[in-house]
Each structure stands twice: as structure tokens, then as C-alpha cells.
Amino acid sequence: MDVLSDVIAAMRVGVPHSSHTHRTAPWHDQFPAAPGAGFHIVLGGSCLLTPDHGAPVPLRVGDVAFLAHGTGHALSAPPGDPGTVLLCGAYQLDPARSHPLLDGLPEVLHLPARLGEDAALRATVELLAAELRDDLPGSGSTVVALLDVLLLLILRTWLAAAEHPATGWAAALRDPGIAAVLRAMHEDIARPWTVAELAATAGMSRATLARRFTALTGRAPLSYLSWWRLTTAARLLRDTSVTLAVVADRVGYSSEYAFAAAFKRQHGVAPGRYRAPASAA
């Protein structure tokens, strides 16, 4: 899997939901803070998004607002405004498996229509709106699939935008060498990577890779790999029934004992106890 897909797969839990609504001014909707992430896309008219903390964000036709951290906010339109058509949705994310790529997103990620012109993003929005509006046979499954695609496309569009600082995960994924290293580690998580092998993948010296990777992601290459292995292990423990030995092997540990010790250091609990809530449910 590529890095972005891998990150979303690790964090996503439950089933996303969405709605297609038409509001007539004046109107005001309040959304309390909640775990997970959500989005609002304006299909017609306009509205104002006001986060609990921060400046209001005017939204116009074609604008996308993504709230990665479940920030409390309000949507509203004053008297005299034309009707507003909205496509909204929410995702459940497991905070225990959070990734710095999403942790570093702004409270309100605003994609003005000019940044949302990606053909795949617009087509997905149109398909999702049609499925919600027409409620055809099979829409239940189609809507869930489209919501997962939409989440990836919103993040991909934002990460590809030019208005980003020179550090952080957006910069890491735009750096050809660092992106190649991340992709290699995510594609073959169990491989016993060395800094020399990763440096060769990046086309850099070991010192340059270590310096640039740490500056952009906040972790040294092998430190990130260890952290990601154990984050992936947490997903496998909660989302599958494979044995601890299989989990250990899939994430690159030669023994179940070594895996259990490393897992407890990162997550504060043994693998079996971490899995217990899901097993009891």
C-alpha cells in the first residue's frame, strides 16, 4: 500500500456516514466536538463555518472543509442568502493508532473550489451526492466505498497543494527521496531494513537521509519504522483474529517474545490485553 492509504487503513474503524441536505436561510447548525473526523462540501449556495476556536471560514460552491480532529463547530447562513446544498460526512478514527500525518493537519482543512478541481475528487463528490439523493438499490455499500475514496482524495489534494511549509509530512511526501523511503518501508514493513539500504533507496548518503528524514517527519528512519510496525500490529490485533505469532512475523519481529516486549513499551499494555476488548465485544 502507498503511505497515505496505509495511514488511513490503520486509523479507520467502524462505518462512515454521510448526508445530503438542502437548507433555507436563515439557518444555524451546531456540531459538538467528537472523536473522529468529518467534512462539509458545498454543492449549492454558501455558508459560514465557525470553529469553536479560530476564525470563521466562508464556504462557497465547490469548497471542501475537512475537520481531521473532530473540532466542534457551527454552520450557518444569514437571512437573505440563497438556499444551501450540503454534502456532509463523518469518519471514526482510532486515536490509539493516530499517525503524525493526520495529527499535523489544521483544525479546519479548507480546500477552496480552485484546489478541489481534481477530476477524481469532483467525480467522487458527484457520485456520492447522487447515491445519497436517489437512494437506489445497493446505495448502502456504494456510499461507504465512496466515502472511503473521498477521504483519501481530500487528503491527497491538500497534500499536493503548494501552500505548505518546508517541513512536516506534506513536505516529506513531496520530497522524492524521503517519499521513496517511506513507500519502501510501508510496502515491506517486515523487511529488516538498514539505514544503508534506505539511503540507497533515497539516492542519498546515510547522513543526509537521517538528517532530512528526521527534520521532515520528526523521527529518525529506523525509529519511525519501529513505531509504524507496532502501530500496524495494534490494527492487526484489533481488526483480525490471527495469532500473536503471526502478527509478530507480519510486522518484522523474529520472535513473539521480542514483539510482546516492544509492543508493551509503545502501547503500555501487552498484546493479548490490548486485543482483549475486541475479543470480548
Q: Residue 49: left (phi > 0), alpha (psi -120 to 50), or beta?
A: beta
Task: Say which CATH architecture domain 170-280 belongs to.
Answer: Orthogonal Bundle (1.10)
* Nearby residues of 4 by Cβ (< 8 Å), 6 or more positions away: 101, 152, 155, 156, 159, 173
User: C-alpha grid cell for residue 167?
Assistant: 517541513
What's the chain's average pLDDT? 90
93-144 pLDDT, tens digit each: 888 788 898 888 899 999 988 755 678 888 999 999 999 888 778 888 899 9
From-to residues of CATH 2.60.120.280 in the chain = 3-160
Q: Is the pLDDT of residue 173 over 80?
A: yes
Is 3-160 a domain of CATH 2.60.120.280? Answer: yes
Across 178-206, average pLDDT: 96
228-276 pLDDT, tens digit each: 999 999 999 988 999 999 999 999 999 999 999 999 999 999 999 998 7
Helix axis angle for 221-239 and 206-217, nearest 10°, is: 50
Q: Please report the pLDDT score of residue 117 as a whole number.
A: 66
Of 65-69, 140-144, 182-186, the range with the lowest mean pLDDT is 140-144
Contact 271, 260 (CB under 8 A): yes
Q: Please report the pLDDT score of residue 170 as a whole number.
A: 86
The residue assigned the cell 495511514 is: 7
From-to residues of CATH 1.10.10.60 in the chain = 170-280
The residue assigned the cell 446505495 is: 139
The phi and psi torsions of 239 (rounded to 5 degrees) equal: -105, -10
38-57 pLDDT, tens digit each: 999 999 999 999 999 989 99
Label residue 189 by pLDDT band (50, 70, 90).
very high
- CA dist list (Å): 46 to 64, 110, 119: 12, 14, 22
How many residues in total does the chain contain? 281
* Nearby residues of 163 by Cβ (< 8 Å), 6 or more positions away: none
What is the spatial distance between Cα 186 and Cα 249, in angstroms, rounded to a whole number?
A: 15
- Residue 82 Cα to chain centre, angstroms: 33
Single-letter amino acid, residue 274: Y
Q: Which of 182, 188, 184, 180 is nearest to 251 (CA)?
A: 188
